[in-house]
């Protein structure tokens, strides 16, 4: 494999890019232009056609010392539901990850990965079943969102009439603008709080108002329950949405499904969640993968209702998606409705049942894995 210059531009915040330009002896204006090319034009090369307003000397330096960090698509698959597309993306070292574009009424969401594989070993999760290979870099996390944003633009360009000169302006200012990526969920492969620093840097880059400008409240991070990470999020008052994968309301039941619960027991996890909500004033989503007979009975609903009593919470129920390494059965919709009803009526606890998307192409929650 050919060596790529070591500086991945997607690793840098806007300020860092400006400082890098200063070190190179280039003006801040050119750094800002490059930033616009990266995140507003979604440029895919340093060529004069793509970046016409950069002087040749800047382009030469970039070509020699920096890379765009674009992740080539190894495979792309459409779900028969017509709303979900899964991308298998290649990393520089030959590893691969999956990223999913999901369309819902009125919004598009990118589901992005934070690691190659996962070390947490949840029994029902395909990523857990493949084991842990490595953390993603901030640039590799950012590149997934850029990829989805670029795909959205390409899709809308191919389905609309030729664009006028004025529509080449910043996409935010353009009336004819294609649907913009506004929602990102860190729910792909990996445990984001196991890769805390890279994920937070990536979130900062995604949020930059001069770039992709994804609002903090539209970035959702889902964790298996890494207690030190939750406490750090609270301490740093990170303005992200937090989802915690609960799945069971007793330590014994939870550690049978989620081995990480042995390291971070349920009582410590709930204490951390309480601290998080008290410190940030924010509600947490508690995810609950519904598995028939295991955690979906009325007694289980009452147990989670009791556990979350007094906490600002919403429960996200996810009917189990099939994976090759686990033979549990998804809860039927009747039982899911009863579960919801108990939470609502007996505990005033709001809940949703997550829409099933991309199951036929293994793009649903917990189905992302790379078969080598």
User: Would you say 135 and 127 are in contact if contact means Cβ atoms under 8 Å apart?
Assistant: no
Tell me how far, at minimum, the Cβ of 173 lies from ligand SAH, in Å.
35
Element (H, E) at 313: strand 313-319
Determine the size of the site formed for ligand SF4 (CB under 6 A): 11
Angle, vertex CA 324, rays to CA 318 and CA 326, nearest 5: 60
Distances (CA, A) of 166 to 105, 151, 170, 233, 273: 28, 21, 9, 42, 48
Element (H, E) at 97: strand 96-104
Angle, vertex CA 66, rays to CA 62 and CA 69, nearest 5: 125
| Alpha helix stretches (DSSP H) within the chain | 14-24, 28-39, 56-65, 126-130, 138-158, 196-207, 227-235, 251-257, 266-280, 298-307, 333-347
366 binds ligand SF4 (CB under 6 A): yes
Decide which of ligand SF4, ligand SAH, none touches 320; Cβ closer than 5 to 8 Å per partner kind: ligand SAH
149 binds ligand SAH (CB under 6 A): no
Name 202's bridge partners: none
191 binds ligand SF4 (CB under 6 A): yes
Give 83 or 132: the residue with its C-beta nearer to ligand SF4.
132
Three-class secondary structure of residue 365 per DSSP: coil
User: Would you say 208 and 14 are in contact if contact means Cβ atoms under 8 Å apart?
Assistant: yes
118 binds ligand SF4 (CB under 6 A): yes
- Identified catalytic residue from 98, 140, 191, 287: 98
128 binds ligand SF4 (CB under 6 A): yes
- Of the candidate spans 115-123, 202-210, 235-243, 304-312, the one that interacts with ligand SF4 by CB under 6 A turns out to be 115-123
- Identified catalytic residue from 18, 118, 273, 365: 365
Q: How far apart are alpha carbons 50 and 307 in whole angstroms?
A: 54
Binding track, positions 255-294, relative to ligand SAH; x by CB under 6 A: --------------------------------x-x-----
Decide which of ligand SAH, ligand SF4, none touches 183; Cβ closer than 5 to 8 Å per partner kind: none
Q: How far apart are alpha carbons 117 and 126 in whole angstroms?
A: 9
Tell me how far, at minimum, the Cβ of 221 lies from ligand SAH, in Å.
8
318 binds ligand SAH (CB under 6 A): yes
- Of the candidate spans 25-33, 135-143, 220-228, 265-273, the one that interacts with ligand SAH by CB under 6 A turns out to be 220-228
Which of 9, 89, 224, 242 is close enough to bind ligand SF4 by CB under 6 A? 224
Which of 141, 149, 365, 369 is close enough to bind ligand SAH by CB under 6 A? 365
Q: How far apart are alpha carbons 46 and 99 in whole angstroms?
A: 25
127 binds ligand SF4 (CB under 6 A): yes
Catalytic residues: 98, 365
Residues that bind ligand SAH (CB under 6 A): 122, 124-125, 187, 191, 222-224, 245, 287, 289, 318, 320-321, 323, 365-366
């Amino acid at each position: 494999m050919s060596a790529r210059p070591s500086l991945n531009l997607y690793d840098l915040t806007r300020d860092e890019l400006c400082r890098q330009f200063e070190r190179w002896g280039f003006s801040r204006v050119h750094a800002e232009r490059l930033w616009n090319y990266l995140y507003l034009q979604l440029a895919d090369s340093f060529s004069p056609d793509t970046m016409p307003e950069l002087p040749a000397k800047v382009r030469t330096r970039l070509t020699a010392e920096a890379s765009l960090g674009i992740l080539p698509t190894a495979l792309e698959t459409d779900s028969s539901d017509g709303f979900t597309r899964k991308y298998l993306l290649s990393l520089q070292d030959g590893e691969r990850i999956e990223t999913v574009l999901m369309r819902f009424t009125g919004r598009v969401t990118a589901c992005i990965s934070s690691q190659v594989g996962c070390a947490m070993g949840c029994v029902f999760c395909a990523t857990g079943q493949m084991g842990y290979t490595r953390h993603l870099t901030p640039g590799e996390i950012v590149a997934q969102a850029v990829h989805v944003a670029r795909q959205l633009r390409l899709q809308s360009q191919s389905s609309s009439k030729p664009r006028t000169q004025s529509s080449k302006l910043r996409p935010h200012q353009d009336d004819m603008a294609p649907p913009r990526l506004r929602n990102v969920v860190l729910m792909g492969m990996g445990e984001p709080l196991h890769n805390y620093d890279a994920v937070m840097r990536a979130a900062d880059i995604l949020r930059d108002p001069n770039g992709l400008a994804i609002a903090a409240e539209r970035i959702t991070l889902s964790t298996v329950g890494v207690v030190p990470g939750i406490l750090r999020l609270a301490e740093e008052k990170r303005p992200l949405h937090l989802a915690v994968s609960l799945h069971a309301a007793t330590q014994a039941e939870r550690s049978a499904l989620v081995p990480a619960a042995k390291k971070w027991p349920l009582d410590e996890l709930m204490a951390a969640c309480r601290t998080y909500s008290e410190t940030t004033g924010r509600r947490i989503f508690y995810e609950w993968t519904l598995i028939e007979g295991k955690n979906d009975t009325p007694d289980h609903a009452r147990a989670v209702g009791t556990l979350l009593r007094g906490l600002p919470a919403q429960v996200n129920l996810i009917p189990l998606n099939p994976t090759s390494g686990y033979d549990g059965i998804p809860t039927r919709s009747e039982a899911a409705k009863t579960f919801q009803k108990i939470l609502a009526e007996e505990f005033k606890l709001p809940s949703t049942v997550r829409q099933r998307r991309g199951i036929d192409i293994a793009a649903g929650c917990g189905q992302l894995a790379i078969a080598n």
